Structures are given as structure tokens and as C-alpha cells.
Homo-oligomer: A and B are copies of this chain.
């Protein structure tokens, strides 16, 4: 149990580095795995991305971007990060690197941004900057969610690049603005598709529709915080927080409506009915859903060689139960769900990535947040 580890964190370690490391061997249905905590010195980490060097960029919700190496070393905060509204669910959120990073050094950040006109609202924004030795330079905002809205909840916001180079941004409904997810004049509860420079692709589904924001790819979402591209079909898959019940996996198609809040398999947190309907004409059924909710965060399709029985499976990290749900896929078909790691990890899992080494990496959302490595047991 990592609880033990936390209790014995080496006294006197620098705040920004940690040599804490603890490994545990855990059985799963198809693989015996070794779970190693590489560091527990991250303050509420939210997103991570591997650099070509093998190091990671890691965001902390409070507003820090750090470089983390697999020996557990954590850098000082990098410069150039935009100012964020670090309150409730907001802050510095996801990080992604450009598909052509090796030649252009672009790094993308999603975050909650205050109203630049001084209003009380905020919204999810995406900025990019060129990564150098000391941090980001040439920083520019490429996406600004509209409208600015006073809420501390449901910002989305996962960043993923499609195989064809478009950038997808997953967004949230801001909770109290949930009805906005059904209208196209705002970004609440939408999945958005832009070019890396922020311009709008001419083949987006609503570019020619009056009163519709042209960045919108799909709508009727609640709070989408997981996104990945299927390795065989190239299609976008997303993971969406339901309320109490009704977490969803969707395969968002351009222009389609995924139903929230008109149709849902969940109820509100206090048990009250948001909609008594699970099926509404003109809206899509989820590809897969959970009742009760597991609080889905990010997800990956596992494409490495370290865990052959998990090849092309969907691994969905979750906050509740500190688990990763493995959906054993045959093409798009979910044949089976296995719950991984739930007895081995005792913090909420906020992000999951596959390393260039084929291992699986997890971030846990805690004041002593961990970077965890999953590899085959020797």
C-alpha cells in the first residue's frame, strides 16, 4: 500500500525533488504488474505529457508546470505559464506537446482563465508557448471558451491531437449552466476542434450555421476529461463525468448531440432527477456507461508491447476507487471490463499516459500527488 510510503517520506528531502520510491507487485487477470511510485512531490497534478527526451511535463492545478524525470526528480516551476484561476476545479489543467514538437517546440496548456475585462466569470482557455530551458516563450492564447461564466466547476479540459494534426479540446458544462450544452452559441458542454494555431478548420460541422460557434465538433456533453484516438480506426473516443451515475464513453461524431442534460443514465448528486429519460430522439446513446459513477478522468488506448494481453484495450483512469477500468476491446466492441489497481493505489487517479517505454504512467490528485509507473513484474 502506498499509504505506508507516504508515512515514511524521507525527511529533509528538497520540496522540489523526491527519491521516494516504493514498488508493489499486483495480480491482474492477464498480467502480473509492478506498481512503483516515482515521486510523491507533486501538488495536485492534473495533466502530463512525455517529451522526446523521455522526461515528462506535468501540470499542477495551482498553476505550476514542472519537468519530471523518471528517476523522480521534479524541477522548479517553469516560466511562461499563463495566469490561471486556481479555485475549486479550476487551475492549470492539461498539457500536450505538438506532434511536430521536435522541430517546433510548441507546448499546449489548458487552464481556467479569468475574464480579461475584469468580470467575475472565467472559462477554459488554451495557450501554447515554445519550450526552452527556462520555460515557455512566445506564449499565445489559441482558444478561449465562451462565455465567461461564474462557476468553479466543470472545465473539461483534455487536449489531444488527432492523427491528422487537428487539436481537440474537451469541455465541461460549468455545472449550473448545464442547459447550455444543448445550444450551439456557447462552448459549454462541447468538444471543440481547432488547428494548432487556433484557427477553425473549414470542415468543422457548424462552420456554415448561423448562431453556432464554428469550433464545435460535438455537443450535449457534461464534463469531458478523457480523450484518446482509437489506434485502428483513428476515431476520437471521450470519457465524460456523469452526475450520480451515468459516466460515459462516447465516440463523438461531427455535429452529433450526446444528450446531456436531456438524456442521462444518472441523477443529480442529491438524488434528484435531472432528466427521467435515457433515450431522446436526435441524441446519441453512449458507447458504454457506468452506474454508479467511477468518476472517469483521462484514458488511453494501450498500444505498447509490455502488456501484450492489453493491446489496443481502453484503459480509463478514475478518481473513485483509485482504479483503472480496462475495457477489453475487439474493434470497437467492449467484451469485458476489468478493474485494475484498486487495492494498490489509494489516491484519486487524475491522468494516465503510455510512456515511450511501453509502461503505463499515472498521476494521482493529492497534495502529495504521485507519479506512478506500471510495468510487468519481473
Asked whether A288 and B245 contact (CB < 8 A) given A278-B309, A309-B278, the answer is: no
Q: List B contacts of A278 (CB < 8 A).
A: 30, 309
Q: List B contacts of A336 (CB < 8 A).
A: 265, 288-291
A286 at the interface (CB under 8 A from B): yes
Taken residue by residue from 330 to 348, chain A's Cβ proximity to chain B (1 for < 8 Å, 0 otherwise) reads as: 1001111110000000000
Q: List B contacts of A330 (CB < 8 A).
A: 285
Nearest CB of chain B from residue A31's CB, rounded to whole Å: 12
Contact partner of A333 among B30, B287, B337, CB < 8 A?
B287
A29 at the interface (CB under 8 A from B): yes
- Interchain CB contact under 8 A, B335 and A285: yes
Q: Scan residues 167-226 of chain A and give those whose CB is less than 8 A from a CB of chain B.
A: none
Q: Scan residues 214-252 of chain A and give those whose CB is less than 8 A from a CB of chain B.
A: 245
Contact partner of A245 among B29, B245, B291, B333, CB < 8 A?
B29
Q: List B contacts of A328 (CB < 8 A).
A: 289
Nearest CB of chain B from residue A291's CB, rounded to whole Å: 5
- Interchain CB contact under 8 A, A335 and B287: yes
Copies held by the complex: 2
Nearest CB of chain B from residue A325's CB, rounded to whole Å: 12
Q: Scan residues 282-330 of chain A and give those whose CB is less than 8 A from a CB of chain B.
A: 285-291, 309, 328, 330
Nearest CB of chain B from residue A201's CB, rounded to whole Å: 29
- Interchain CB contact under 8 A, A335 and B29: no
- Interchain CB contact under 8 A, A335 and B286: yes
Nearest CB of chain B from residue A320's CB, rounded to whole Å: 16
- Interchain CB contact under 8 A, A333 and B333: yes
Closest B residue to A278 using CB positions: B309
Q: List B contacts of A245 (CB < 8 A).
A: 29
Please indicate which of the listed interface residues A289, A328, A335 has the most CB atoms of chain B within 10 Å of its own CB.
A335
Q: List B contacts of A333 (CB < 8 A).
A: 287, 333-334
Nearest CB of chain B from residue A157's CB, rounded to whole Å: 26
A336 to B325, CA, bound (A): 13
Q: List B contacts of A285 (CB < 8 A).
A: 330, 335
Q: List B contacts of A334 (CB < 8 A).
A: 288, 333-334
Closest B residue to A284 using CB positions: B330
Taken residue by residue from 27 to 58, chain A's Cβ proximity to chain B (1 for < 8 Å, 0 otherwise) reads as: 00110000000000000000000000000000
- Interchain CB contact under 8 A, B335 and A291: no
Q: List B contacts of A286 (CB < 8 A).
A: 335
18 chain-A/chain-B pairs, Cβ below 8 angstroms: A29-B245, A29-B265, A29-B291, A30-B278, A265-B336, A278-B309, A285-B335, A286-B335, A287-B333, A288-B335, A288-B336, A289-B328, A289-B335, A289-B336, A291-B336, A291-B338, A333-B333, A333-B334
Q: List B contacts of A291 (CB < 8 A).
A: 29, 336, 338
A270 to B334, CA, bound (A): 28
A278 to B308, CA, bound (A): 11
Please indicate which of the listed interface residues A245, A328, A338 has the most CB atoms of chain B within 10 Å of its own CB.
A328
Nearest CB of chain B from residue A73's CB, rounded to whole Å: 39
A30 to B291, CA, bound (A): 11
Nearest CB of chain B from residue A105's CB, rounded to whole Å: 41
A336 to B290, CA, bound (A): 7
A91 to B285, CA, bound (A): 44
